[in-house]
Structure 1
Amino acid sequence: MKFDPLFKALKEKSKVVDEAIFDLVPEKEPKVIYDAARHYPLAGGKRVRPFIVLMATEAVGGDPEKAIYAAAAVELLHNYSLVHDDIMDMDEKRRGRPTVHKIWGINMAILAGDLLFSKVFEAIAKIPTDPKKVVRVLDVISKTSNELCEGQAMDLEFESKDSVSIDEYMKMISGKTGALIDASATIGGIIGTDNEEYIQALSKYGRNIGIAFQVWDDVLDLIADEEKLGKPVGSDIRKGKKTLIVAHFLENANEEDKKEFFKIFGKYAGDVQGEGIIEEDVQEEVKKAIELLKKYGSINYAAEVAKELADEAKKSLEILPESEARRYLELLADFIVEREY
């Protein structure tokens, strides 16, 4: 299989990063806050962001051993954002497990998120490299944290807006999803080299695959096999989530089709089955909405955008020397827009 070497490398590197994560967030007192903070890291995941840190360091000729705590830092920042996002969205499951606030309550979940955020800076302080590079990593993390908040704020604003433009949506996911993957690649470059061209090439790579990742997620929500996806197809339509696909539809559809779409879009927000609502009927309505999106080529448009971004990401790596690490980064870009879940 094309991606088997990538999956093997991800698994190997995740073990090293997990050791650093659980060194930073151990089992200790007060038990409740540390149990809550460890909940998402213990759930696993591919550890894509820390993998990018390590591979970016190696791809520019650096020692990935020196980047392990930097890799842990970006994963802790990611998990912090998930805890708080789940509270804002009132999601009850994450990675197939109950969310932190569902188990420990909102107040303790906020504290657990704050603890994870503080551990990000503890991790940065442990990076065994030139202090000037550590300060630069700190600057990247700080600015990335700002972008994450800005992107999330835009996403929350979108909920109350009747429509969102393509430009607005792309700006939002650039912050909410692109910024942290950009940071992962950039930080790896900073630790591994003093070559600014290499660092900027990695930054561009990370930003593009970060945006592509979210756009492809939006596509999968409408076309994926439900069992592989792990949730009902069209859940974004049920919830009324504004995506690039919806933005494209709204910029191209006639008024009659928009009206039909909005009769369904967001009608089943919260996935709560009200009295008299039958799941088969919901599915039929969602299918009608998906057909309207297909009518204007909106799903294909988003898929092409994701693939173009992945191609741009790979092109930006051409300046780097040929290496196994660079090939893994290129393979990751392909996987992001070829995955089925």
Structure 2
Amino acid sequence: MTKYDELFARVKKMAKSVDDVLFKLIPEREPRKLYDAARHYPLAGGKRVRPFVVLRAAEAVGGDPSKALYPAAAVELIHNYSLVHDDIMDMDELRRGRPTVHKVWGINMAILAGDLLFSKAFEAVARAEISPEKKARILEVLVQTSNELCEGQALDIEFETREEVTVDEYLQMISGKTGALFDGSATIGAIVGTDNEEYIQALSKWGRNVGIAFQIWDDVLDLIADEEKLGKPVGSDIRKGKKTLIVSHFFQNASEEDKAQFMRVFGKYAGDAKDDALIHEDVKGEVAKAIELLRKYGSIDYAAEYAKNLVREANDALKILPESEARRDLELLAEFLVEREF
């Protein structure tokens, strides 16, 4: 058993405790369609990585992780609400191998289900067995996290209509879209577990860096991973015209001739998700040429190293905390996110 196998055995064990709380908050009740829609993604599984961060952060600063269960569920509810609404905006048909909420229950009910998940997150904080002062601070973090999620998503939508996005603009967008919720998870756990501001800020920095690195590594994998492990055709982001750190670096460094060649492929074969494999087969050679252009300017290596540096900085921030299994689990999780192959 590898160190990561042991880590995810602990993740799975803690996920069960989080799920017990999660489904108390979103039970089977009337209106049945609304609650069935709201329960759809949580029932589909997922590793519950963000709730794990909440629980381990609380323990890493010397707190009682059982007191962090409701705040951990709150984070998972916010995450799932954002997925429901993202899928509507992207008109995606599958999530975690299941039809998306709006495909099953329609767009109107899906919007309501997302809204319900969002409101239930604040109910979860209200139910937590912690002081009113800590509840108030956690609510502030959840509000700020939700604001940043919306801002990041808005920038992502705006970027779809632009030919070029700078490295700084991309990092601002992804800091909101993926960095904020990891930051919020780690910060909330720390608030539950301690009043030590240095510890809380250290975990906030860890979460922000890890969340950004997680998305950047996803973008790298889209270009270098084994297709079977990845579960989708390599180069999907190029076909769909997705703005990434890799693409931003390329545009800031490439010749006009190479930019023009890249743009002949980038975003030109988005197609329909149902035809993903077919479209990929038709344009495989063109996408491969585009990937080679990214390699030519070191853009893929740049992004990979950027993600790994973020993780190194994240784990360095944790050195202020006492040695513990909880702290080591957070360090291991960060390392895994930039070493995984899928």
Instruction: Report the TM-score, using the length of structure 1 for normalisation.
Output: 0.98
Structure 2 Cα separation of the partners of residues 47 and 114 of structure 1: 20
Relative to structure 1, is the Cα distance of residues 109 and 211 closer, same or farther in structure 2, using a 3 angstrom cutoff?
same
Residue in structure 2 matched with residue 266 of structure 1 by the alignment: 267
C-alpha distance after superposition, 1:137-178 (max 9, x if no partner): 000000111000000000000001110000000000000100
Measured after TM superposition, the shift of residue 252 of structure 1 is 0.5
Identity of aligned residues (%): 73
Structure 2 counterparts to residues 1-341 of structure 1, below 5 A: 1-271=2-272, 279-341=280-342
Which ranges of structure 2 fall in alignment gaps of 5 or more residues?
none
The residue type paired with residue 298 of structure 1 is: S
Measured after TM superposition, the shift of residue 103 of structure 1 is 1.1
Structure 1 Cα separation of the partners of residues 63 and 304 of structure 2: 35
Do 1:239 and 1:271's aligned partners in 2 also have CA atoms closer than 8 Å?
Answer: no
Do 2:253 and 2:297's aligned partners in 1 also have CA atoms closer than 8 Å?
Answer: yes
Do 1:52 and 1:184's aligned partners in 2 also have CA atoms closer than 8 Å?
Answer: yes
The residue type paired with residue 168 of structure 2 is: D
The residue type paired with residue 17 of structure 1 is: V
Q: Helix, strand or coil: the match of 1:264?
A: coil
Q: Helix, strand or coil: the match of 1:269?
A: coil
Structure 2 Cα separation of the partners of residues 270 and 137 of structure 1: 42
Measured after TM superposition, the shift of residue 96 of structure 1 is 1.3
Instruction: Report the TM-score, using the length of structure 2 for normalisation.
Output: 0.97
C-alpha distance after superposition, 1:164-214 (max 9, x if no partner): 000000000000100010000000000000000000000000000000000
Q: Helix, strand or coil: the match of 2:293?
A: helix
Measured after TM superposition, the shift of residue 102 of structure 1 is 1.1
Q: Which moved more, 1:311-320 or 1:279-288?
A: 279-288
Q: Helix, strand or coil: the match of 1:201?
A: helix
Q: Helix, strand or coil: the match of 1:152?
A: helix
The residue type paired with residue 67 of structure 1 is: A
Structure 1 Cα separation of the partners of residues 259 and 122 of structure 2: 47
Do 2:68 and 2:128's aligned partners in 1 also have CA atoms closer than 8 Å?
Answer: yes
Do 1:73 and 1:120's aligned partners in 2 also have CA atoms closer than 8 Å?
Answer: yes
Measured after TM superposition, the shift of residue 280 of structure 1 is 2.4
Structure 2 Cα separation of the partners of residues 153 and 55 of structure 1: 31
Structure 1 Cα separation of the partners of residues 60 and 224 of structure 2: 35
Structure 1 Cα separation of the partners of residues 102 and 257 of structure 2: 41
Structure 2 Cα separation of the partners of residues 65 and 160 of structure 1: 46
Give the aligned CA root-mean-square deviation in angstroms: 1.1
The residue type paired with residue 81 of structure 1 is: S
C-alpha distance after superposition, 1:279-312 (max 9, x if no partner): 4231111111111111111000000000000000
Structure 1 Cα separation of the partners of residues 133 and 177 of structure 2: 28
The residue type paired with residue 158 of structure 1 is: F
Give the length in aligned residue pairs: 339
The list of structure 1 runs, each at least 4 consecutive aligned residues, that deviate by more than 3 angstroms after superposition, is 270-274
Measured after TM superposition, the shift of residue 271 of structure 1 is 3.2
The residue type paired with residue 180 of structure 2 is: A
Structure 2 Cα separation of the partners of residues 278 and 203 of structure 1: 42
Structure 2 Cα separation of the partners of residues 188 and 36 of structure 1: 28
Structure 2 Cα separation of the partners of residues 242 and 266 of structure 1: 10
The residue type paired with residue 287 of structure 1 is: A
C-alpha distance after superposition, 1:48-80 (max 9, x if no partner): 100000000000000000000000000000000
Structure 2 Cα separation of the partners of residues 279 and 156 of structure 1: 24
Do 1:165 and 1:247's aligned partners in 2 also have CA atoms closer than 8 Å?
Answer: yes
Do 1:238 and 1:286's aligned partners in 2 also have CA atoms closer than 8 Å?
Answer: yes
Do 1:26 and 1:34's aligned partners in 2 also have CA atoms closer than 8 Å?
Answer: yes
The residue type paired with residue 310 of structure 1 is: V
Do 1:55 and 1:188's aligned partners in 2 also have CA atoms closer than 8 Å?
Answer: yes
Do 2:206 and 2:317's aligned partners in 1 also have CA atoms closer than 8 Å?
Answer: yes
Which ranges of structure 1 fall in alignment gaps of 5 or more residues?
none
Do 1:182 and 1:202's aligned partners in 2 also have CA atoms closer than 8 Å?
Answer: yes
Q: Helix, strand or coil: the match of 1:140?
A: helix
